[in-house]
Chain A
Amino acid sequence: MRPVGDGPYLQVRDLRVRFDTEDGVVRAVDGVSFSVERGKTLGIVGESGSGKSVTSLAVLGLHDPKRAQVTGEILVGGRDIVGLAEEEVRRLRGRDMAMIFQDPLSALHPYYTVGRQIAEAYRVHHSGATRREARQRTVEMLGRVGIPQPERRADQYPHEFSGGMRQRAMIAMALINDPDLLIADEPTTALDVTVQAQILDLLGDLQDEFDSAIILITHDLGVVSQVADEVLVMYGGRVAEHGSAQRVLRQPQHPYTWGLLSSVPSLHGDADADLVPIRGNPPSLINLPPGCAFHPRCPHATDRSRVDVPELLPADEPSHLVACHLPEPDRLRLYQEAR
């Protein structure tokens, strides 16, 4: 039975993750809030080091409490997992929530057959299931994610699979317990573009079938535009912009989002024109610039940007949130002018 909670399946409120390192305190996630409903996909985008993976590991309860300090609320099906005993979180993981990583080899053990590992993931959460049932369910799932001859493939080892097939196997393993929440961290980054297209289609189909909530983390705006209902743009461990994919990708209001979009080389438009990059480099999370963390790279920064951290506030619609000091009319005008 699925827990009947109120509202979205996952609710994250004011999440903060900090690491104490030799070089100083890393504020990898600094006050991030979002929620995801069943059947919906939230895309989290941002450059490397912006805190995307640390966010996803926190939601899965995978941070080592000795190294990472996690605060805030993470409500999974109505239950706060921050501070919950490790054992309880482990029970949720794999059954209620599951994950897919960039590198399937890191999730698959080289010495066991693919089928055995997936069946094991099933039996952990179905203690009543026989070996046979687990095997049957595994083969079914391998077929479901598009692996040809699943009976035979189940008895092969990970190295006998191609990159795309390994990623499918990992998806099969993640979905075997019919999780309510699936977190995919750069699931297609290591794949070829034709295989990436297959995997993204597959995730969409499986979501329709299982009605799970999905968080898709990627640095690729194209990928996000293809699958996300909502988009959250992270910069320096904070949320720069958050809203429907339509709003964030079509009517973006944050200068960082503009910069990301104008940097992406396109298949259309003038190929002879220079791209419009963001100047400078992403900041170090140990030493975040004061005020708006984006100000050293922002062409529109004001004196206030250098001092005050901008709040994340509603813009043209209540669910479209933007953290920028510029007044909305100025943002709309600047974006139009830049296009």
Chain B
Amino acid sequence: MSLLAVEGLTKHFTARGGVVRAVDGLDFTVRAGQTLGLVGESGCGKTTTGRMLVRLLEPTGGRIVFEDRDITHLGRRAMRPLRQDLQIIFQDPYATLNPRHTVGRIVAMPLTVNGTRPPGGVKKRVQELLELVGLNPEHYNRYPHEFSGGQRQRVGIARALALRPKLIVADEPVSALDVSIQAQVINLLRQLQRDLGLAFVFIAHDLAVVRHFCQRVAVMYLGRIVEIGERDEIYERPRHPYTRALLSAIPDVAKLGQSEGRIRLTGDVPTPMNPPSGCRFRTRCWKAQDICATEEPPLTAGVACHFPEPEGAP
């Protein structure tokens, strides 16, 4: 059974000059204790999706079902008991930690707001949490500016863990970190998942990072999912042209500049105010045919393309 199920999830923003179709009909599920990676280029709708999942944004359409309960339009009060189960970690730890609050107070905030009284007291619980994420419990009285970027992200993770959630939406939690620190935080998230049985929706634009943390992966393009599947299927046998191009564009240290088999897309991602007709990827797709301009390919068997690579092709 899935912990979270999303059907036709949509978010349109009205902006100057028209409607931004930021997220335009997503279907996916997240199983308990597993991680779904949400990847795609800037502006494809990852953050918007993540914020709808934790009810920070009101969907324009579609359904969000958490543990068999429709939470799509739950109000603040009705959400409160669910707040415990659903948490979010942001990309920029600095922007989301109040600089005037001590780390202890920041991590305790969800407990305070929720009126939770952990056995042994709030301070003890907070110190346990700090230890869990690899911070020194004595850091309790320090302020965010006294910490490095990686440590601040650990504070954000501790805060998200405070209410023992079942699902954490992590929006680019390591993108702003240096590579050595990024690896520390990825390992921490992996360990937390193993030890606490947490489920994650892990948002990232770096496919290599996603590969090291996710069991399943959804690739987004202009507000739609173009391919979704088990990690190894996506990385070893990608079927959608966009997934293949995305993987191929990653400069890999192991390749040392060799370029055979490289796919290069031309042009930029079109604006979600005016997505191309039919298949949204067609303006950059080297396989596009007439039908691609007229009919939007549905997501069937994990891929939304009229001419996908055959299943099991390398």
Contact = CB atoms under 8 A, between A and B. Distances in A.
Contact of A261 (B182, B247, B253): B253
B257 A268 contact: no
A260 B208 contact: no
B186 interface: yes
B269 A192 contact: yes
A116 to B, nearest CB: 23
B183 A275 contact: yes
A284 to B, nearest CB: 10
A300 B308 CA distance: 50
Interface string B236-275: 0000000001111111111111000010111111000000
Contacts of A47: 178-181
A275 B257 contact: no
A164 B269 CA distance: 10
B187 A266 contact: no
Given A263-B183, A267-B211, A278-B180, A194 B257 contact: no
Given A192-B41, A226-B251, A250 B256 contact: yes
B268 A277 contact: no
A222 B183 contact: no
Contact of B186 (A220, A227, A275): A275
A162 B162 CA distance: 40
A17 interface: no
Interface string B256-297: 110000101111110000000000000000000000000000
B246 A193 contact: yes
Interface string A91-110: 00000000000000000000
Contact of B41 (A194, A274, A277): A194
A249 interface: yes
Contacts of B3: none
Contacts of B183: 262-265, 275-278
Nearest to B271: A162
Contact of B256 (A249, A262, A276, A278): A249
Interface residues of B, number: 45
B178 A225 contact: no
A271 B180 contact: no
Given A47-B179, A163-B42, A222 B249 contact: no
Interface string A233-267: 00000000000011001100000000111111111
A250 B252 CA distance: 13
A263 B182 contact: yes
Interface stretch (A176-184, A196-204, A326-334): A196-204
A277 B251 contact: no
A264 B250 contact: no
Interface string A166-196: 0000000000000000000000000011111
Interface in B186-215: 186-187, 190, 205-209, 211-212
Given A47-B179, A48-B178, A276-B183, A267 B207 contact: yes
A192 B205 contact: yes
Contact of A277 (B180, B209, B247): B180
Contacts of A200: 251
B285 to A, nearest CB: 12
A281 B150 contact: yes
Contacts of B206: 193, 265
A194 B184 contact: no
A277 B184 contact: yes
Q: Which of B183, B208, B249, B265 has the most CB of A within 10 A?
A: B183
A142 interface: no
Contacts of B179: 47, 219-221, 260, 263-264
A164 B265 CA distance: 13
A154 interface: no
Contacts of A227: 257
Nearest to A165: B268
Given A263-B180, A264-B253, A266-B208, 6 more contacts: A193-B205, A194-B249, A195-B41, A225-B255, A261-B253, A264-B208
